[in-house]
Structure 1
């Protein structure tokens, strides 16, 4: 086992050594180890089935170990219940939330307190809950009196996090807390984790997203097949390749393999026009071509999943047209979609994709059985194809009749995708296809999708992971507040650009109000754009269309009406060579200096321009608080 060099650090708050756990004949842990110190975030890593969640549940009192030793604050830790762990100051933010669906957000946040002796002050609880949600940046998004059963998966995860924070625990284990969160919500969570760490808490962070590990973790411990293969290693001494090799025992190469799909991309096979399914989907349009991998990108709550459910017949539509191979099709229920050649892998693997009482074989053949008519189940017709898929999945044929729940989340997801490939669809839609799976499985899923696209399948991937979309998609549709915002080639985008494009319209309301004010006051064209070399992506526009920029579209500077200004970016009004237009560009940055785009104002060339300093001050006010403006 690889172990770090000793350094001068705080005394360990928790140490686990030689921990084992068996569930019947299944040995989940054999020789697990973990060290957690105050003031550190330790990444607990491993492939699906490595034992990360099992070790986390042992430390937090959910289950008892079969062997080994766990010490907390210098004393042996023997827990008989989660309540005892909470009393000791150990909290778990679980991957699968443990909330009471019939209770309110407020009651769930303080669920551990409800059974304690004495009288509870709901006024004090409400005030503290508001403070916690304000820390999370969600005081308006999570109404305290709402029942948890009506919340989205991302909102439930935030309640789970708030519940752990309310305990003021000394040790907090975050077991894949970001699986349902958007990029912005992940940043907020990391800010909170950093504050907890700096306040002297010991934190463990379980994640399959290595970019998150490098962003927040000070050290890492890696499990493989129940064994600890690398313990307490400084993150700064490792690369992603090092961690992947520890996790899977081999080099899997690049996560996103290069693809040159120009020859395999053909005609448009699926198109959605003006889709509306209120309240989440207001006006969405997009299309995908044969052999293309199209991304639907946006933040949690943008309406992407709801749009696909409306297409699939799971949600009522008020407007919109759906075309397959150029012909309008009436998709009123899932069976209609299957007959039209559309497959759909839903986001929630356990609730929407798996039939737990069925075997692997039956789950694999489930969609194909819907296509089969006559007596029997039609397994024999696809025997050769099933054998090929099993080989690709790495699943032994003698395990086909076992329960699908006996397999890791990663294998479950690959079988669900294979289920739809068996139906030989023309269009395959996947909602968060790598949510909660390890790095090796992600790589395999991507290869499955690329191979399917190379064979002519039109693939649509919905994801909150912008790195994923940029890595596997040729084109990305950006969605915000239920509206299609942009349709752009992936190679014109970065994670930062996608984040700005996908921002909720409510969070950019001040920017757009400024554009309207500038256009009205000066009678010109006001716009907000991203600039990268000679490339431009227009985010918003108001007033006369003088600059030649269209919201949601990319362009080259020389192909707009204001190439001189876009090239100069001087912070003063720049007049074009023909004298017809003059443009001021002012860059926006946040408090950390990150580029938030440029605000531009284009006026006719013969109009006296306003003083640039006044406009620069108004742009600066967009990204600074009132206290900074008056300082």
Structure 2
């Protein structure tokens, strides 16, 4: 509800009673939205709730069948997106509408290129610089670079700059973070905060509730084309409140607790990857997945996770390494080879990699069956009983199997893609960003499906940029950085902060390794950078002088503190050298913190013996410089 203290002069846009139908489908029934100046307003709802349709009505892409919109105190009746841009309303979507073969500066001023008269590139360059400076990213975009060479985050920045070049006052961000890493999301939120401070109105459409709480001031929630909660202050809401409005009921925990069943034995390894290479993106990746296990591939965008999955599935040529399924060596040169070996894969991009838009739901469901079956004809009947069981299990509408898949929401499309592989009863199922762009209810449903698949004995490999998702769903997480696997750890030992530190590109942690080398070069012994828990140590990197000192831990591995060679020092964590019981080693531990106070772990130095040790203050001063320069 709107606060009683709000003044009508602060209102930028009011939409009431908006309705829109597509054939027999009623996308919007009675949708309302209210946006103030200088706020970020969250527009939330499950897949198919009408969020994107309402956004496109506001920015002129779709004409409403009924309802009224008031903008800056005047009735708004848009006939096109051009009229919306003239009015100062712009859409920034996850799938950018840029011209890929044109330069950044040409894309920023794209609407001006069609106007009569001579263009002044000097003026455009000066204005682009002013816009980017206002956003705090004056050095982030090479203005002469072709857009197709930019990262997803840079392309999104071009979209925002293009909107500001038209002096847009109202910006709609439709799922803008779907393809961004956590660091890139933070940068986008910085930009959004600056736009809010400038007095602009921002509508933020997202399925990620943690982002909603991080950036929005108020939220409006939709369900089945209707507004069911209008202009609720975000500060007064909890996750369960939003979910209840979105799905009409309490759905409990998004992530069920990981089952800890003690069987007394380890299940057999189903998928084994050793020293996999598919250069330049994949250099040296090794891991295994056991029967009934869900393993995550974690890392930042561009680390080589998706490329690793593509190499396993035969979509990308390998330049080295081995792949084994059930102990048998396989050599997938194309996806059909991987499918026949018992591997299924749900690709990241549904629209372009997983579905055929012109086919029906039934035909999309049975695509993998056609590829795996070598018999004459389609032979759909062989899968009919399995199909009926899956339809019921995944809550797919049995009466719409012969409709186009494009008439379904993104979440329903994702269920269809997963069901396609389940029909083949794979030994291994790889899922790349399985919940990208789906609502909280569908995410919960997909997690339940994956747990059930694993319980049935399938080895499941999940790739996700959402670290919370990996931690909540997987039993182990293999961290990929710069095309190499650098850690393989139980999820129970990790949290988002630790996973972020582990996932940092090796190029960015090279400075820390160099620091350890310099430290041991000056004082001897072994230096290490680690994360410490009560009873465990996770080593991030280490360096040793000639001869070194064995400390019993290796980079990328977790160890029990009492199983290392320096248990006393790791337990006490004193700011001076602590000798071990046998007096053969002495260790000093110094905490590392960034300039913003974030915990970056501990730096340790272990030296032989107990005499001739350097002053602790000298080591502490050196470590302080490491954190200050972060």
The change in CA–CA distance for 1:572 and 1:163 in structure 2 (over 3 A counts) is farther
Q: Is the 8 A contact 1:313 1:331 kept in 2?
A: yes
The Cα of 1:146 is off from its aligned counterpart by 4.1
Report the equivalent of 2:404: 403
1:527 corresponds to which residue? Answer: 528
Give the counterpart of 1:7 among 1, 5, 8: 5
Distance change (3 Å), C-alpha of 1:463 and 1:374: same
Matched with 1:301 is 302
Matched, 1:258 2:257: yes
**Is residue 2:205 matched to residue 1:201?**
no
Once the two structures are TM-superposed, the CA of residue 491 in structure 1 deviates from its matched residue by 0.4
**Contact in 2 for aligned 1:261/1:291 (Cα 8 Å):** no
Cα distance change of structure 1 residues 144 and 339 upon mapping to structure 2, 3 Å threshold:
farther
What is the RMSD of the two structures over their aligned residues, measured on CA atoms? 2.3
Determine the structure 2 residue equivalent to 1:336: 337
Cα offsets for 1:443-500 (capped at 9, x unmatched): 1111111101000000000000000001110100011111101000010000111011
Q: Deviations over 1:537-587 (max 9, x none)?
A: 111111134332211111122222222222222322222222222222221
Q: Partners in 2 of 1:54 and 1:45 — Cα distance?
A: 12
User: Aligned residue for 1:497?
Assistant: 498
- After the TM superposition, which of the residue ranges 150-159 and 563-572 deviates more from structure 2? 150-159
**Does the CA contact (< 8 Å) of 1:270 and 1:427 recur in 2?**
yes
Partner of 1:576: 580
Q: Secondary structure at the match of 1:603?
A: strand
Alignment of 1:270-289 (within 5 A): 270-289=271-290
Q: Sort the Cα spacing of 1:266 and 1:594 in 2 relative to 1 into closer, same or farther, 3 A.
A: same
Deviation at 1:40, TM superposition (A): 1.5
Counterparts of 1:244-255 in structure 2, within 5 Å, are 244-255=243-254
The structure-2 alpha-carbon separation of the partners of 1:297 and 1:384, relative to structure 1 and needing over 3 Å to count, comes to same
CA deviations on 1:507-536 (whole Å, 9 max, x unpaired) are 223222211211211112111111222221
Q: Report the alpha carbon displacement of residue 5 of structure 1 after superposing the two structures with TM.
A: 3.8
The answer for the alignment partner of 1:386 in structure 2 is 387
Residue segments in structure 2 that go unaligned for 5+ positions in a row: none
Tell me, in whole angstroms, the C-alpha distance in 1 between the residues paired with 2:208 and 2:171. 19
Higher mean Cα deviation, 40-49 or 560-569? 560-569
- Quote the Cα distance in structure 2 between the aligned partners of 1:472 and 1:375: 41
2:569 aligned with 1:548:
no
Q: Is the 8 A contact 1:265 1:291 kept in 2?
A: no
SS in 1 for 2:19: strand
Change over 3 Å in CA distance of 1:496–1:164 after alignment to 2? farther
Q: How much has 1:155 moved relative to structure 2?
A: 5.1
1:574–1:583 contact (8 Å) kept in structure 2:
yes
> Do residues 66 (structure 1) and 65 (structure 2) align?
yes
**In structure 2, distance between residues paired with 1:555 and 1:411:** 42
- Which 10-residue stretch deviates more, 431-440 or 387-396? 387-396
Query: Is the 1:173–1:203 Cα contact (8 Å) retained in structure 2?
Result: yes
**Deviation (angstroms), 1:284:** 0.7
Alpha-carbon contact 1:136-1:189 (below 8 Å) kept: no
Change (3 A) 1:222 1:619: same
Equivalence for 1:349: 350
User: 2-side partners of 1:145 and 1:504: how far apart?
Assistant: 27
Superposition map of 1:455-474 within 5 A: 455-474=456-475
2:628 partner SS: coil
**How far did residue 128 of structure 1 move?**
6.0
Q: Deviations over 1:173-200 (max 9, x none)?
A: 1111110011111112112212222232
**Residue 508 (structure 1) aligns with:** 509
The runs of 5 or more residues in structure 1 that have no matched partner are 627-631
When the two structures are superposed, what TM-score results if normalisation uses the length of structure 2?
0.94
Aligned-partner Cα distance in 2 for 1:547–1:168: 60
Cα distance, 1:259 vs structure 2: 4.0
Structure 1 142/469 Cα, relative in aligned 2: closer, same or farther at 3 Å?
A: farther
2:414 pairs with 1:413: yes
Is residue 606 of structure 2 the alignment partner of residue 602 of structure 1? yes
Query: Quick check: 2:304–2:482 contact (8 Å CA) kept in 1?
Result: yes
Indicate the larger mover: 324-333 or 83-92: 83-92
Q: Distance in 2 between matches of 1:613 and 1:118?
A: 69
1:94 aligns with 93
Partner of 1:217: 216
Report how far residue 6 of structure 1 moved: 2.2
1:479 is the counterpart of 2:475: no
Number of aligned residue pairs: give it. 624
Q: Which structure 2 residues correspond to residues 416-431 of structure 1 after superposition, within 5 A?
A: 416-431=417-432
Residue from 577, 581, 591 that aligns with 1:587: 591
Q: Tell me the equivalent position of 1:629.
A: none
What is the CA distance between 1:136 and its match in structure 2? 7.9
Report the more deviating stretch, 124-133 or 267-276: 124-133
3-state DSSP of counterpart to 1:435: coil
Report what 1:612 is aligned to. 616
d(CA) in 1 for partners of 2:18 and 2:277?
53
SS at match of 2:10: coil
Q: Which residue of 1 aligns with 2:320?
A: 319
Q: Is the alpha carbon distance of 1:362 and 1:155 closer, same or farther for their aligned partners in structure 2, counting shifts above 3 Å?
A: farther
Q: Counterpart in 1 of 2:238?
A: 239
- Displacement of 1:506 in angstroms is 2.3
Contact 1:476 1:487 in 2 (8 A): yes
What corresponds to 2:26 in structure 1? 27
1:64 Cα deviation (Å)?
A: 1.8
**Superposition pairs for residues 354-373 of structure 1, below 5 Å?**
354-373=355-374
Aligned match of 2:568: 564
- 1:129 deviates by 5.3
Secondary structure in 1 aligned to 2:452?
helix
Which shows bigger deviation, 472-481 or 130-139?
A: 130-139
User: Hey, what's the Cα distance between the residues in 2 that align with 1:305 and 1:132?
Assistant: 34
- Tell which deviates more after alignment, 173-182 or 365-374: 365-374
Map Cα deviations across residues 225-265 of structure 1 (whole Å, 9 max, x no partner).
11000010011211111111111111111111234264596
What secondary structure does 2:316 align onto? coil
Checking the alignment, whether the CA contact within 8 Å between 1:529 and 1:536 is kept in structure 2 is: yes
Change (3 A) 1:593 1:546: same
Instruction: Give the match's secondary structure for 1:423.
Output: coil
Cα distance, 1:607–1:318 mapped onto 2, change above 3 Å:
farther
Counterparts in 2 of 1:162 and 1:616: CA distance versus 1, 3 Å = farther
* Contact 2:94/2:179, CA 8 A, preserved across alignment: no
Deviation at 1:140, TM superposition (A): 8.0
Report the equivalent of 1:178: 177
Hey, what's the Cα distance between the residues in 2 that align with 1:87 and 1:128?
Answer: 18
Counterpart residue number, 2:56: 57
